[in-house]
Amino acid sequence: MKPYVRLTFGLLLFSLALSAHAQDNRIYLSGEWRFAIDSLDRGITEKWFNRQLADRVILPGSMTTNGKGNDVNIHTPWTGGIADSSWFKKDQYAPYRVPGNIKIPFWLQPVKYYKGAAWYQKTVTIPASWSGKELVFFIERAHWETTVWVDGQEAGMQNSLGASHVYTLPAPLKPGAHQLTVRVDNRVKTVNVGVNAHSITDHTQGNWNGMIGRLELLARPKVFIEDVQLFPDIDKKQVTIKAVLVNAGNQPAAATLEALAGAATAGAEKLKPLIKKITAGRDTTRVELVYPMGQRPLLWDEFAPNLYTMRLALYTGSGRDERRVNFGMRAFKVKGTQFAINGRTLFLRGTLECAIFPLTGYPPADKASWLRILKKARSFGLNHIRFHSWTPPEAAFEAADELGFYLQVECSSWANQGSRIGSGDPLDAWIYEESNRMVKNYGNHPSFVMMLYGNEPGGRHMQQYLVGFVKYWQQKDPRRLYTTGAGWPVVPQSDFNSSPDPRIQGWGQGLQSIINGQPPRTDYDWVSIISRWKQPTVSHEIGQWCVYPDFKEIKKYTGILKAKNFEIFRAQLEKNGMIHLADSFLLASGKLQTLCYKADIEAALRTPGFAGFQLLDLHDFPGQGTALVGVLSPFWEEKGYVTGAEFSRFCNAIVPLARFPKMIYQNHETLKVPVEMAQFSSGTLGAGSIQWTIADDTGRILFKGDFKTAAIPAGSKVQLGTITQPLASVQQPSRLIVTVSAGRYKNSWDIFVYPSVLPAAPADVRVTQQLDAESIALLQNGGKVLLSLKKGTLKDAAGGAIAVGFSSIFWNTAWTNNQPPHTLGILCDPRHPALKEFPTQYHSNWQWWDAMSHSNAIILDSISKGLKPIVRVIDDWVTARPLGLIVECAVGKGKLIISGIDLLSDSEKRPEARQLLHSLLDYMDSSRFNPVTAVTAEKIKALIKE
């Protein structure tokens, strides 16, 4: 049975449990619907709304989850090549690597795909008890333009991407059977939100066609509550209720409006009802009530997400109508250059959610699914989610309310590809309409604290348009904060800035970034950047650090999207004879990725007055060339190299911080490290002792001390003192772990200490930077040679030079136009005798920065097929070449080590290079140095530039 058939069968079982039936004022429409594909756009002219459609689907769902649409060739072999953006020019889904489409970017591939109109139809039975009532058809989420007919009579068209589609049905509908028909069109038409917008793009959720979430018919009195918006005031301990009443009758109606709030928290103060007599005029009446919340209202935040329910009941001669609205007493405000929740300074620790749902291709509409996602994010120390160019369903807000998550929500647009904001196109008006729909649907949720037009806008008039958008919402609804667009432009009118500037590496920086271009340290911050602005700054899309694909993940794609990209990468690795190293590549690159994220996050936390960061991403982004930037998979699952407990040591409400001027020391030096504390918890951290230790890699504590501290108030960053420790007693080359502990909050850093005086080099090993005639003669006669190549002396590989750097790959090489580095760190056996005097783990750590900054990657097969190196470099998964930094081989009667690392130039300034050279020479001077792979001198010389 095909996976999408299994999914459809599961939906069928669910729909049987929720079969269409009347319950008071509601008829549930989940279950079987009639269906037809309208690929030729004949349905309207041929009046398909007047006929019975022949096919069947299960809703909620999409065409793809029902196995409908065009087949996509999922078995086309890959022929290699570098991805580019040519796919933008294609109107249909592009299968992998087919003739004429060789250079498409990688993404997940569906089994079926369809773009166009499709028709959904259901017979509904109106009960006699609904006579004389207003009838409403409710679609929680459609993708994306819907047109509705009832018994052939059109009820209208709607095109919201981020809010419900709600239709008032033509009146009167007599009791009995009626035919409800919905046409869904998922094409970009007059409103173009941008081809990359995650609300519609195939890179993430997919451009699905269907209806999900609640599908219902509702009956309400002639006079009913159309909208309720609640405006809490924590200072005045009250809530302003703004209600919109609609009178569909012919005459004004006397009405009684009753409001009553209750809290779910045990022991909460019991509140009294507020009753108001009003007259509901014809059409629309706006009513405003001020509801007192008692003497001790419970406040909502990330630590105490207290929720209330406001019950608003309207009594008229046409019947009783009621709304129940959950809300929280909270104030999310600007406080200087930071944010405050209920007056307390907070720091946003966020990640993106880019509509990544591989099993269905569309977002879940149930709260349980969102609770799972947010709990996982919380376990990694986060308190904030940014929804990149899309708006999640109601359930996401409900889960965030319950857990205390702060949400940034966007109007489903990324207007920089094929669309331009502020150009006068229909998109401009649609953004205002959509944002109003979003606030009407979700505005009462306390978690909804920030709203934007969308992501990274483009257009000559974008700034003028977006400033107007910000001002419009600042005046209309002060419950949340607003800025122009995610990333830019930064303008003084915004409540806060979303800026890509404060991060350790960005687009185009490559090997010139702090993490690649400067020796490792942790004493920098972003004060010089954010001091340019008076409002809070949230760093935009920091991180983007990649990890190797986890090929075990392929089997988890049991839904409508398949990991054909991973299958291609796996085939390339297998072709190059390294499939047995796949898990090792994952774990080693994952450790480097985690180190890069730690550096990024701590830099943000070290910055005084900084407002927060948004990671791209805590979990993988499957599109745009395959951006494996998550420590979690697209399923929000751990990959095996870092846990939430480990990650949250450096990403949390309370984080000890240290400003290391460098990470590499010699034992004649004294370690001097200022220590700080970022404290953004719910209350004061009591006075006491902050402990510090320095341990070796066995866990044995070598040094320790403490800082006596006064109470540290919430919302502050304080200096604790300086660790001052001479290192003379560290006689052996060592990896040391510096740990600072404040109760259960701990953070650690690895430093490396080497002897300042090293033994003399063995006399029988020739160390050279050229494989000259003397070196070759020595090898032929049974001598030993260490060839330490200067950077840039290896001939370029096919396709150009291999760009080696310390950090992980940024985003991916395909989408960044080959931004360096192209590698994912090192892999080695730390027990190899050649590394005995150069302490290392199996993966990159700070002591490898010098090597990676002075190195050439050696293509191992160019020396000998299947050559096993002492130190391996992990290549980009697209090319997956066997690369090495240090290799050994036999030449003639002699023995050779080739170091792609320049270990000689400026060695007096490079203690890592001196120590690694010593370790290699110590190995070459031992009986264990006995390379088995025989290579000719000519083969080695052929690799080196003349």
Q: Report the distance separating Cα 413 and Cα 391, nearest Å.
A: 10
- Asked whether 394 and 407 are in contact (CB, 8 A), the reply is no
Which pLDDT band holds residue 346 (cuts at 50, 70, 90)?
A: very high
Contact (Cβ atoms closer than 8 angstroms) between residue 216 and residue 198: no
Q: Residue 266 burial (CB < 10 Å; 0-12/13-18/19+)?
A: exposed
Q: Which of 195, 229, 168 minimizes the C-alpha distance to 105?
A: 195
Please report how many Cα atoms fall inside a 13 Å half-sphere around the Cα of residue 596, on the Cβ side.
39
Cβ atoms within 10 Å of 783's Cβ, excluding its own: 20
Length of the chain equals 946
d(CA 117, CA 119): 7
CB-based contacts of 258, cutoff 8 Å, min separation 6: 273, 274, 275, 276, 311, 312, 313, 314, 315
* Residue 45, CA distances (Å) to 38, 49, 612 in order: 11, 10, 54
Identity of the amino acid at 590: G
Is the confidence at residue 319, as pLDDT, over 70?
yes
Distance (Å, rounded) from C-alpha 614 to C-alpha 401?
19
Residue 628: pLDDT band (50, 70, 90) is very high
pTM, rounded to two decimals: 0.94
CB count, 10 Å around CB of 744? 7
Give the per-residue pLDDT at 202: 86
CA distance linking residue 584 with residue 641, whole number of Å: 10
Helix (H) or strand (E) holding 516: helix 514-517
Task: Tell me what pLDDT residue 23 has.
Answer: 55
User: Which residues, at least 6 apart from 743, have a Cβ–Cβ distance to it below 8 Å?
Assistant: none
Residue given tokens 């396709």 in the structure block:
799
**Percent of the chain, pLDDT > 90?**
88
Q: How confident is the model at residue 106 (pLDDT cuts 50, 70, 90)?
A: low
Distance, in Å, from the CA atom of 849 to the CA atom of 312, rounded to the nearest integer, reads 63
pLDDT number for residue 267: 82
The whole-number pLDDT of residue 98 equals: 43
| Torsion angle in degrees (nearest 10) through CA of 630, 633, 637, 641 | -60
- With a cut of 80, say whether residue 75 has pLDDT above it: no
214 neighbors 140 (Cβ within 8 angstroms): yes
Extract the tokens encoding 534. Answer: 């008076």
Label residue 863 by pLDDT band (50, 70, 90). very high
Please report the sign of the dihedral spanned by the C-alpha atoms of residue 466, residue 468, residue 469, residue 473. Answer: positive
Confidence class of residue 798 from pLDDT cuts 50, 70 and 90? Answer: confident
The whole-number pLDDT of residue 876 equals 95
Question: What backbone torsions phi and psi does residue 723 show, to the nearest 5 degrees?
Answer: -75, 120
Beta bridge partners of 669: none
Say if CB 784 and CB 764 are below 8 A apart. Answer: yes
Average pLDDT over residues 910-916: 98
Lowest mean pLDDT among 348-352, 414-418, 676-680, 751-755: 414-418
Helix, strand, coil fractions of the chain, as percent rounded to 5: 20, 35, 45
In the predicted model, what is the mean pLDDT of the chain? 93
Q: What count of Cα atoms within 13 Å lies in the side-chain half-sphere of residue 848? A: 28
Q: Contact 886/899 with Cβ under 8 angstroms?
A: yes
How many Å separate Cα 371 from the centre of its chain? 16
* Site of tokens 């036999």: 890
384-387 and 348-353: which strand pairing? parallel
* Of 33-47, 102-116, 194-208, 265-279, the least confident: 102-116
What is the distance between the alpha carbons of residues 888 and 902, in angstroms, rounded to a whole number? 16
Report the alpha-carbon distance of residue 103 to residue 87 in Å, rounded: 8
Is residue 926 within 8 Å of residue 881, measured between CB atoms?
A: no
Asked whether the predicted pLDDT for residue 11 surpasses 70, the reply is no
How much is the pLDDT for 108? Answer: 86
Q: Report residue 92 as tokens.
A: 């249909």
Q: 83-101 in b/e burial notation, b at 16+ Cβ within 10 A?
A: bebebeeeeebbbbbeeee
Q: How far apart are CA 72 and CA 202, in angstroms?
A: 13
Mean pLDDT computed over 289-312:
97
Q: Is the pLDDT of residue 522 over 70?
A: yes
pLDDT band at residue 6 using 50, 70 and 90 as cut-offs:
very low
3-state secondary structure (DSSP) of residue 674:
strand
Distance, C-alpha 433 to centroid of its chain: 27
Give residue 813's identity as a one-letter amino acid code. T
Residue, of 836 and 195, whose pLDDT is higher: 836
329-341 average pLDDT score? 98
CB 115 within 8 A of CB 207: yes
Q: Check whether 853 has a pLDDT greater than 70.
A: yes
In b/e form, how buried is each residue of 622-651, taking b as 16+ CB within 10 angstroms?
Answer: bbbbbbbbbbbbbbbebbebbebeebbbbb
Answer yes or no: are the C-beta atoms of 297 and 269 closer than 8 Å.
yes
With bands split at pLDDT 50, 70 and 90, how would you rate the model's confidence at 701? very high
Mean pLDDT of 439-452: 98
| Helical pair 394-403 and 426-442, crossing angle rounded to 10 deg | 50
Interatomic CA distance for residues 379 and 825, integer angstroms: 27
Report pLDDT digits (tens) over 480-518: 999 999 999 999 999 999 999 999 999 999 999 999 999
Give the model confidence (pLDDT) of 534-555 as tens digits.
999 999 999 999 999 999 999 9
pLDDT of residue 796: 86
Using one digit for the tens of pLDDT, what is the confidence trace for 800-814? 789 999 999 999 988
CA triple 387-393-478, angle to 5 deg = 65
Q: What is the pLDDT of residue 73?
A: 62
